[in-house]
């Protein structure tokens, strides 16, 4: 029987609230297997409570115990979490499962647990019995660092926003018409020239390869897979302006506008594919995750046969570097798709699913669901909202929560959900926070929880989470009308 739940987002698969609470005081002890879950929990407790949490005396039970003796049936990310007045037990079959359990314990603790400095308690944890695990394995957010550049610190702060909500994929949109954002050995002009500007003009910016390694390591410590995107054959003006041999334009200039679909690589030249092979090789070598995203969207200046030709030559290059292809849904029209390919569905839910995509789904291609009118976090909250685009209509809090990723494409093998945050109108980390909150938690819930959509319950939980955002210093969130009591 589901008792009054303590406002967890995502909603766990099964939760029973018991009477009473556990209070963590100066005498509280902690035992956990060395790993990322323990590091995450210790960092959280040290930072906000300042309590020592020593190991228990030999033979004595710990106040908080993390163990890896959970049944294999929990899978990679599932966990059991039991809190009684005597202590908290977090059990999983993997350290990643313990890491997800830690995020749930985090939300059971008072909002002050999000404080960046030690504050007084009491550190009360309501008694619960939870069994949990994700509906989808791919729970992602995309950050567009091409239209406007966001540095390592901003990307790490972005990851910090996602961790409490159990996301596990960070898709970095690294190249577009307005900028190339990752240095590539042997092609210095991609960043010396191609990173010089942005939408509306400078500053531009780019990641050195060491910067990118720092982001990947930070993400991995939090059980995120980084999926880098090099968007081709369209969205390539910055690359072509850097190296005109990649273009059929006379003298391709840097671009600072927000139009799409006008650029196209010279896709009948061997030198283009040699370039791509080198780029894909370096990006793959820098990326421990198994995926490389090659874009493929909005090749509006490319004929269908040229697009097919391009994909027939470009797609195999990715597999040649040991990565599985991710691409926007248009790549469904490629003559053949490599094994394991994931296509990212992004068109608005009202549109007819293209025949090529239906055929790809029938052939077993996996889908990542990113319908623009549901989870494009760059879309305005409302007509009069200061930030965002509105080509897919406005995306309010309820619209981004109340949809079913499994119901949009009949028969699809859905890998999961991903919320793209395009940055044409976004320039600062606070701008990113504003577009993320309060929509992000609902998307996390749709990606993790198989429970039926429960809008009244979600609103109640969201309202309780504003105190967590305030404590964490997320002050720029949109004061949506739904958040008013
Ligand atoms: C996959 C895709 N291609 C386009 C489209 O989404 O809309 C975005 C803005 O919402 C835009 O930035 C992007 O270049």
Q: Which ligand 1 atom is at minimum distance from the Cα of 370?
A: 1
Residues forming the active site: 298
Question: Whose Cα sits closest to atom 11 in ligand 1?
Answer: 422
Ligand 1 centroid to 453 CA: how many Å?
27
The span from the CA of 282 to the CA of 305, in Å, is 29
- Average pLDDT value for residue range 217-227: 98
CB 85 within 8 A of CB 20: yes
The span from the CA of 428 to the CA of 426, in Å, is 6
Q: Tell me, what's the pLDDT at 4?
A: 47
Q: Tell me, what's the pLDDT at 485?
A: 84
Query: pLDDT tens digits, residue range 35-56?
Result: 999 999 999 999 999 999 999 9
Q: For residue 155, what are its two tokens?
A: 């990307």
- Average pLDDT value for residue range 455-475: 97
Q: Which ligand 1 atom is at minimum distance from the Cα of 424?
A: 12
Does the CB atom of residue 403 touch ligand 1 within 6 A? no
Does the CB atom of residue 376 touch ligand 1 within 6 A? yes
Ligand 1 centroid to 422 CA: how many Å?
7
pLDDT band at 5 (very low <50, low <70, confident <90, very high): low
Does the CB atom of residue 96 touch ligand 1 within 6 A? no
Percent of the chain scoring above 90 in pLDDT: 98
The span from the CA of 426 to the CA of 148, in Å, is 7
The span from the CA of 289 to the CA of 70, in Å, is 26
Query: pLDDT tens digits, residue range 440-455?
Result: 999 999 999 999 999 9
Q: For residue 104, what are its two tokens?
A: 């749930």
Does the CB atom of residue 328 touch ligand 1 within 6 A? yes
The Cα angle at residue 402 between residues 399 and 404, in degrees rounded to 5? 120
Beta bridge partners of 326: 293, 342
Architecture of the domain delimited by 138-449: Alpha-Beta Barrel (3.20)
- Average pLDDT value for residue range 363-379: 97
Taking alpha carbons only, the member of 243, 319, 225 closest to residue 277 is 319
Go through the chain and tell me how many residues it has: 485
pLDDT band at 3 (very low <50, low <70, confident <90, very high): very low
Extents of the domains making up the chain: 14-132, 138-449
Give me the torsion for CA of 338, 340, 344, 350, rounded to 10°. Answer: 100
Q: Tell me, what's the pLDDT at 333?
A: 97
Q: Which ligand 1 atom is at minimum distance from the Cα of 176?
A: 14
CB 101 within 8 A of CB 66: yes
Q: Tell me, what's the pLDDT at 2?
A: 40
Q: Tell me, what's the pLDDT at 415?
A: 98
Ligand 1 centroid to 421 CA: how many Å?
9
- Average pLDDT value for residue range 162-187: 98
Question: Whose Cα sits closest to atom 9 in ligand 1?
Answer: 422
pLDDT over threshold 90, residue 1: no
Ligand 1 centroid to 328 CA: how many Å?
10
Does the CB atom of residue 260 touch ligand 1 within 6 A? yes
Question: Whose Cα sits closest to atom 2 in ligand 1?
Answer: 297
Could you tell which of 295, 297, 351, 380 is best to mutate to test the pocket of ligand 1, judged by most ligand atoms within 8 Å of the CB? 297
Ligand 1 centroid to 297 CA: how many Å?
8
Query: pLDDT tens digits, residue range 296-355?
Result: 999 999 999 999 999 999 999 999 999 999 999 999 999 999 999 999 999 999 899 999
pLDDT band at 274 (very low <50, low <70, confident <90, very high): very high
Give the chain's radius of gyration (CA, Å): 23
Does the CB atom of residue 346 touch ligand 1 within 6 A? yes
Same-fold call for 14-132 versus 138-449: no
Question: Whose Cα sits closest to atom 14 in ligand 1?
Answer: 260
Percent of the chain scoring above 70 in pLDDT: 99
The count of C-alpha atoms lying within 13 angstroms of the C-alpha of 366, restricted to the half-sphere facing its C-beta, is 16
Query: Can you point out the beta strands (E) in 265-424?
Result: 291-295, 324-328, 342-345, 366-369, 413-421
pLDDT over threshold 90, residue 109: yes
Could you tell which of 420, 421, 426, 435 is best to mutate to test the pocket of ligand 1, judged by most ligand atoms within 8 Å of the CB? 420
CB neighbours of residue 18 within 10 Å: 14
The span from the CA of 405 to the CA of 447, in Å, is 8
Torsion sign over Cα 404, 409, 412, 418: negative
CATH number of 14-132: 3.30.379.10
Ligand 1 centroid to 116 CA: how many Å?
35
Ligand 1 centroid to 131 CA: how many Å?
38
Does the CB atom of residue 298 touch ligand 1 within 6 A? yes
């Amino acid at each position: 029987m589901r008792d009054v739940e303590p406002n967890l987002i995502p909603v766990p698969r099964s939760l029973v609230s018991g009477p009473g609470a556990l209070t963590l005081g100066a005498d509280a002890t902690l035992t956990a297997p060395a790993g990322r879950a323990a590091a995450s929990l210790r960092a959280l407790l040290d930072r906000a409570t300042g309590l020592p949490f020593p190991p228990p005396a030999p033979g004595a039970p710990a106040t908080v115990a993390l163990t890896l003796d959970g049944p294999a049936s929990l899978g990679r990310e599932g966990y059991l979490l039991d809190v009684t007045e005597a202590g908290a037990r977090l059990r999983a079959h993997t350290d990643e499962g313990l890491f997800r359990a830690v995020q749930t314990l985090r939300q059971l603790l008072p909002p002050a647990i999000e404080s960046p400095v030690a504050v007084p308690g009491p550190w009360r944890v309501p008694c619960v019995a939870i069994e949990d695990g994700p509906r989808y394995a791919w729970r992602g957010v995309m950050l567009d660092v091409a239209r406007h550049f966001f540095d390592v610190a901003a990307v790490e702060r972005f990851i910090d926003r996602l961790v409490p909500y159990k996301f596990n994929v960070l898709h970095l949109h690294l190249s577009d018409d307005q900028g190339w954002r990752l240095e590539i050995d042997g092609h210095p002009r991609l960043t010396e020239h191609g990173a010089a500007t942005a939408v509306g003009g400078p500053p531009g910016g780019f990641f050195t390869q060491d910067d990118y390694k720092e982001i990947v390591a930070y993400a991995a410590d939090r059980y995120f897979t980084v999926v880098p995107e090099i968007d081709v054959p369209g969205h390539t003006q910055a690359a072509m302006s850097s190296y005109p041999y990649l273009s059929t334009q006379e003298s391709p200039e840097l671009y600072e506008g927000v139009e799409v679909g006008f650029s196209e690589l010279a896709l009948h030249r061997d030198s283009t594919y040699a370039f791509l092979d080198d780029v894909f090789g370096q990006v793959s070598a820098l990326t421990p995750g198994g995926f490389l995203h090659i874009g493929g969207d909005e090749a509006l200046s490319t004929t269908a046969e040229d697009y097919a030709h391009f994909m027939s030559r470009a797609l195999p290059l990715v597999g040649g570097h040991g990565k599985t292809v991710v691409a926007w849904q248009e790549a469904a029209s490629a003559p053949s798709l490599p094994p394991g390919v994931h296509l990212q569905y992004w068109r608005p839910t009202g549109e007819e699913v293209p025949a090529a995509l239906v055929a790809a789904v029938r052939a077993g291609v996996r889908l990542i669901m990113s319908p623009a009118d549901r989870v494009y976090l760059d879309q305005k909250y409302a007509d009069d909202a200061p930030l965002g685009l509105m080509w897919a209509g406005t995306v309010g809090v309820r619209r981004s929560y109340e949809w079913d990723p499994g119901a949009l494409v009949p028969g699809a093998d859905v890998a999961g959900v991903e919320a793209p945050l395009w940055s044409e109108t976004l320039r600062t980390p606070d701008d990113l926070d504003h577009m993320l909150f309060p929509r992000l938690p609902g998307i996390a819930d749709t990606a993790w929880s198989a429970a039926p959509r429960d809008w009244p319950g979600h609103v109640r939980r969201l309202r309780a989470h504003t105190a967590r955002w305030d404590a964490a210093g997320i002050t720029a969130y949109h004061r949506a009308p739904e958040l008013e009591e």
